[in-house]
Each structure stands twice: as structure tokens, then as C-alpha cells.
Structure 1
Amino acid sequence: FKVYPNEVEEVIASHPGVLECAVIGVPDAKSTEAVKAFVVKKDPNLTAQDVIKFASTELTGYNVPKHVEFRTELPKTNVGKILRRELRDEKPKAAAAAAS
């Protein structure tokens, strides 16, 4: 199935406890990719389960994030566009650094 990050981000961003978010695909054992959401909280009490439950009421199953990671900020360009590539590349960089 094709997942459109903008569609998922729009739903998650509409949650009253979310300030901003970004969505990427990450490797998954069951399927080829799973949805991962990076969320900046507006409400400090917001949990990953809250985000997943909210998304599941608005999105089809394969669009609902399987992983939620909270951040204080998201990487952006000078004009404010979220850099999904940086989020996607973080894990390989960290693994490469740990291996050396």
C-alpha cells in the first residue's frame, strides 16, 4: 500500500496535543515498511498511545504510525520545511558511528 506522509502528518497535527510532526517509513519485519511519526508536543502529557489511537480513528490501518518518537524540535530548512531525509538518515549514522 502507498502511504502519503502529508496525509498522515495532517491527521496527527490536528490532534490538540501536537505542535508539529513529521512522518517517515522505517524497515519493518512484518511488512516492508512501517510508519514512524516524530512529534513535538504541545501538551506535555501526550503519550505515543494517544497519538496512535487518535490516528487510528482517522486513517486506514496501514497509515497509522507503528512507532512514535517525541522530539523538542524537528530538523528544518531555512524556510521552515521539515527535513524528513535527516530524520530518515539519523539511525544509519548512529549505527555507523557505534560500529567504528
Structure 2
Amino acid sequence: MIMMSPLRRNYRIIVALWFVLGSVLMIGSVYVGEYILILLLLFTVAIGVYCLTLKCPSCGKSVLHNPVKILGNDLYIWTPWIPKSCAKCGEKL
């Protein structure tokens, strides 16, 4: 069995929750009313804020703000994945 870091595990649980509850709220908006979409918007914002606050346990750098090489230049962008190691200190995530 592969051991997953708590950071990656929490991120995967949150993304799975987002898909499941988001789908339920969208289907619910068809049958209950369009005002339930406000809950979907609030839920999406809350999940997004939580994901943006995930930090490396050793250096404190945000794990979703990573360098991506574009035309030979390293550009720091918000990525939807957690890399295997921290871009700043190199610790495994």
C-alpha cells in the first residue's frame, strides 16, 4: 500500500467532495429551484480558499503556486495539482 502525505490526501478528499457535492447541488437546482445555485457558488469559493491556503510543512510556501516552464522562462502560476516536491525547499509533499 502506498502511503500518501496528509497534504495530498486532504487535497484529494476536498476535490472529490467538490465534485460530488457540486453535482448534487446542480441537480438539486433543477428540482428545488435556482436559488440553490447560491449554495454552489459559496461552496466553490470556500473550497477554493481552502486549497489556496495549503502550504509546505517545512518552508510555508503555497503548494499550488508553482513554476511552469513556458518558452524557456519559469513563470509562477496557480496550478491545480500538488507537485511531488516543494519548489522552494525541495521537501517531498
| Greater RCO, CA 8 A, separation 6+ | 1
Q: Which has the higher strand share?
A: 1
TM-score with structure 1 setting the length: 0.26
Higher alpha-carbon Rg: 2
TM normalised by structure 2 equals 0.28
